[in-house]
Amino acid sequence: MKRLFQASLLLLALLAGSTPLFAHHGNASYENKQVTIKGKVTQWLWTNPHSFLMLDVTDENGKVVHWICENNAPSTLVNFGFTAKTFKAGDEVTVVMSAVAKSGAPAGRITKVILADGYVMNSEVR
Q: What residues line the site for other proteins (CB under 8 A)?
A: 1-2, 4-5, 8, 11-12, 15-16, 23-30, 36, 38, 45, 47-50, 52, 63, 65, 67-68, 70, 73-76, 78-83, 85-88, 92, 94, 101-107, 114-122, 125-126
Nearer to other proteins, 32 or 45 (CB): 45
**CB 71 within 8 Å of CB 41:** no
Nearer to other proteins, 16 or 32 (CB): 16
Q: How far is the CB of 47 from other proteins (least distance, A)?
A: 4
Q: How far is the CB of 65 from other proteins (least distance, A)?
A: 5
Nearest residue to 107 (alpha-carbon basis) of 54, 51, 68, 66:
68
Q: How far is the CB of 104 from other proteins (least distance, A)?
A: 3
Nearest-5° Cα angle at 92, 38 to 70? 60
Nearest residue to 82 (alpha-carbon basis) of 123, 126, 39:
123
Question: Is residue 93 packed enough to be buried (19+ CB in 10 Å), middle (13-18) or exposed (0-12)?
Answer: buried
Nearer to other proteins, 98 or 106 (CB): 106
Nearer to other proteins, 32 or 52 (CB): 52
Q: How far is the CB of 46 from other proteins (least distance, A)?
A: 9
Question: Is residue 8 packed enough to be buried (19+ CB in 10 Å), middle (13-18) or exposed (0-12)?
Answer: middle
